[in-house]
Structure 1
């Protein structure tokens, strides 16, 4: 493999996915379910790659005007998580006693957030894939899939650092819904969904 294209792929992945580390750390901070988080991250990112590769070959599974509406996925998951926090608080949980999440997020929840957050990545990946040819595109895809594992390890690493873990343990159940809702709103607004 050409070292230049590997470096370009790694750089492109890092630039387009830096926000995923924060989201992954929030997911990992919820406790159990680490395998589900990694599986969900791979499913969501594989969806991004399938759409980007298909579009690079001229097929479009997802019409461009539909991309901004992907923001509805993290928005809905954020509202669901906020509802859970509010319900647990109403049942007697306090700020010092974060609610249990029942083993962390499900793989499809993580996949939905990953895919929705990657809608803008598709727009970046398509021209790069289209101009790199089949062999170059293969290198990009392989490097990206390897880096998904690195991103999962980084998210887990940050979630287990004592200072960060303490903050996420105390505030993560509140921060996750806020981040997901914010992410959904940003995707909707920046994409011009609903005429915003």
Structure 2
């Protein structure tokens, strides 16, 4: 395996899943003291993320059939998602938006965790598709393998944070700023590296 691709995959996973750490921490905190909650949360996270990967890989294969000059323009998708996330964060800040992590009386169920993971990963799909389309089958396989390993790491980190409220509060405060910056940066990088608009 190419260490460069492994590093790129790890970096891409990290920057596109920063917000997942907070969500996982909230799920683990909610499941504290409930037997089997940890395994249900981990299974739900994997199920949701596998759904994200299936959609991204399928679209990545479809994107490889596009004319080569068109592929760099797929960077417009994460760029638009970054702008949308920034707009949403600004609206929530101005309007005192609702907390996305709603309190529940029961421990989280596997399908609920999977649904939240998949829904929250819509932005990830927009970022992964152009990357997968440009790496080919071998590179895409490495990305998928690294992502699946890192899902377990993310679950462990989320569980760790669930026991440290101060850290969870910091992520809650700045996660809405990091996500738009990262998405916009990835979109610009794809556009510039692909030479879109003569860049």
Give the TM-score normalised by structure 2.
Answer: 0.61
> 1:172 matched to which residue of 2?
none
Unaligned runs of 5+ in 1: 69-77, 85-100, 169-174, 176-181, 183-196
**1:15-34 maps to which residues of 2 (within 5 A)?**
15-30=15-30, 31=32, 32=34, 33-34=37-38
1:160 Cα deviation (Å)? 1.9
Q: Once superposed, which parts of structure 1, at least 4 consecutive aligned residues long, lie more than 2 Å away?
A: none
Matched, 1:42 2:46: yes
- Residues of 2 paired with 1:108 and 1:159: CA distance? 20
Q: CA deviation at 1:164?
A: 4.4
* SS of equivalent to 2:108: coil
Distance 1:39 1:156 in 2: 14
1:160 aligns with 2:163: yes
Distance between the aligned counterparts of 2:46 and 2:140, measured in 1? 18
The 3-state SS of whatever aligns with 1:105 is: coil
Any residues of structure 2 matched to 1:115-154 within 5 Å, and which?
115-154=118-157
Aligned to 1:91: none
For residues 75-94 of structure 1, the aligned pairs below 5 Å read 81=102
In the aligned structure 1, how far is the partner of 2:10 from the partner of 2:152? 13
Q: Does 1:2 align with 2:6?
A: no
Partners of 1:159 and 1:56 lie apart in 2 by 35
What is the rounded CA distance, in whole Å, between the counterparts of 1:142 and 1:160 in structure 2? 29
Tell me the alpha carbon deviations over residues 32-91 of structure 1, each in whole angstroms, 9 at most, x when there is no partner.
2111100000000000000000001118xxxx9xx99xxxxxxxxx69x56x5xxxxxxx
Unmatched 5+ stretches in structure 2: 64-76, 85-99, 177-199
Partner of 1:72: none
For residues 49 and 111 of structure 2, what CA distance do their matches in structure 1 show? Answer: 12
TM-score if structure 1 supplies the norm length?
0.62
CA distance in 1, matches of 2:158, 2:127: 23
Superposed displacement of residue 11, structure 1: 0.2
CA distances 1:76-127 after superposition (whole Å, capped 9, x unpaired): xx69x56x5xxxxxxxxxxxxxxxx33x100111011100110011011001
Partner of 2:115: 112
